[in-house]
Amino acid sequence: MTPLAEILSRRIALSGPITVADYMAECLLHPEHGYYSTRDPFGTGGDFTTAPEISQMFGEMLGLCLAQAWLDQGAPVPFVLAEPGPGRGTLMADMLRATRGVPGFHAAMQLHLVEASPTLRARQRRTLEGYEVQWHDTLTDLPSLPLFLVANEFLDALPIRQFERRGSGWAERMVGTDAGQLVFGLAPLAPVASLAHRLADTREGDIVETCAPAQAVVETVAAHVAAHGGAAIFIDYGGWHSLGDTLQALRDHAPDHPLAHPGQADLTAHVDFEPLAAAAKDCAVSALTPQGVLLERLGITARAQALASRLSGEALQSHVAAHRRLTHPEEMGNLFKALALAAKGSPLPPGFAHEP
């Protein structure tokens, strides 16, 4: 049993089963035993790899994309460049390097990161040495300035709740204990107002998921952009809306049972973009765009060729593999989706189109 499993078992024995959301939040961010609180999980030595860790091209494309959005909105001075959940800070570092040549961009920018993990804050500080950075606990703390924001694999780490369809009601999936082990169970049937529309596309026994914190994030960003201008890009794995259990645990680059190693495995869930698009209704919202399509539109192939011309041997092979991994429909290209928003009346960031 992990130390966190013991803590959670004692809590459940005292006060009853907890929601999947409570479980996920404790696993990821418990101050002493949480997965992100205690480690840097990225890269080949860690538990999983993300797009910015695969290739510098990912951050370069997104940096230039946001810089163009800034130019399209009249290059406001000053403005906030923000990222929630920056991991190692790699995406931001690549964005900053790529935008150095955009006249006025760096001089006008204030860098703001939202990060819950002290360990990863320290890592980000090292990665972004030489830049003046401000860290925050929540997005509501950002200064009232035009906001250009990117979030990659941030929303999938926010706690989800799961509900199983029973007749015309829903039973919430809970984490309890049985014979000293953490187990999934179901709470008594209850109506769930926010799932009324899902009665039409689900059947008895189906599981659907909700993520109120992700909706709150997008709502906060959309309200900020509507009030002060700017644009935001959210990239994550998922689809329009979920059907089925998408909670997954990764440990040492291999799937793990979500209840097996609380605090020692990464826990994520597919991101549902339909409720997020609805939460951004104060802004113009793009069509949901596959990551591969977005990166191609932003010119990743030309950039990949330019970089390739300076490489040979193994370095060239791994560069070609990284390009494929980010864009190919059978790799990350289709599984990962991007959604952009901008103030109504402003153009969407390049690479994005309005809903047809």
Residues that bind ligand SAH (CB under 6 A): 28-29, 36, 42, 50, 52-53, 84-87, 91, 114-117, 120, 152-154, 157
Exposure on the CB side of residue 181, measured as CA atoms within 13 A: 9
Exposure on the CB side of residue 249, measured as CA atoms within 13 A: 17
**How buried is 323 (Cβ within 10 angstroms: 0-12 exposed, 13-18 middle, 19+ buried)?**
buried
CB of 349 to ligand SAH, least distance (A): 18
Closer residue to ligand SAH, CB minimum distance, 147 or 343:
147
CB of 14 to ligand SAH, least distance (A): 25
* Element housing 151 (H / E): strand 147-152
Task: Give which of 272, 231, 219 is closest to 70, Cα–Cα.
Answer: 231
Q: What angle do CA 72, 74, 80 make, to 5 degrees?
A: 90
CB of 268 to ligand SAH, least distance (A): 8
CB of 141 to ligand SAH, least distance (A): 11
Amino acid identity, position 5: A
Q: How far apart are CA 327 and CA 330, in angstroms?
A: 9
CB of 257 to ligand SAH, least distance (A): 21
Task: Give which of 134, 138, 184 is closest to 164, Cα–Cα.
Answer: 184
CB of 84 to ligand SAH, least distance (A): 6
CB of 265 to ligand SAH, least distance (A): 13
Closer residue to ligand SAH, CB minimum distance, 88 or 319:
88
Closer residue to ligand SAH, CB minimum distance, 29 or 320:
29
Closer residue to ligand SAH, CB minimum distance, 141 or 201:
141
232 pairs with which residues across the strands?
149, 341
Token pair in block for residue 298: 């932003």
Closer residue to ligand SAH, CB minimum distance, 117 or 242:
117
Sequence-distant (≥ 6) Cβ neighbours of residue 185 within 8 angstroms: 17, 173, 174, 175, 176
Closer residue to ligand SAH, CB minimum distance, 30 or 165:
30
DSSP per-residue string spanning 241-271: S--S---EEEETTEEE-TTTSTTTSEEE--E
CB of 87 to ligand SAH, least distance (A): 3
Closer residue to ligand SAH, CB minimum distance, 53 or 272:
53
Closer residue to ligand SAH, CB minimum distance, 23 or 170:
23
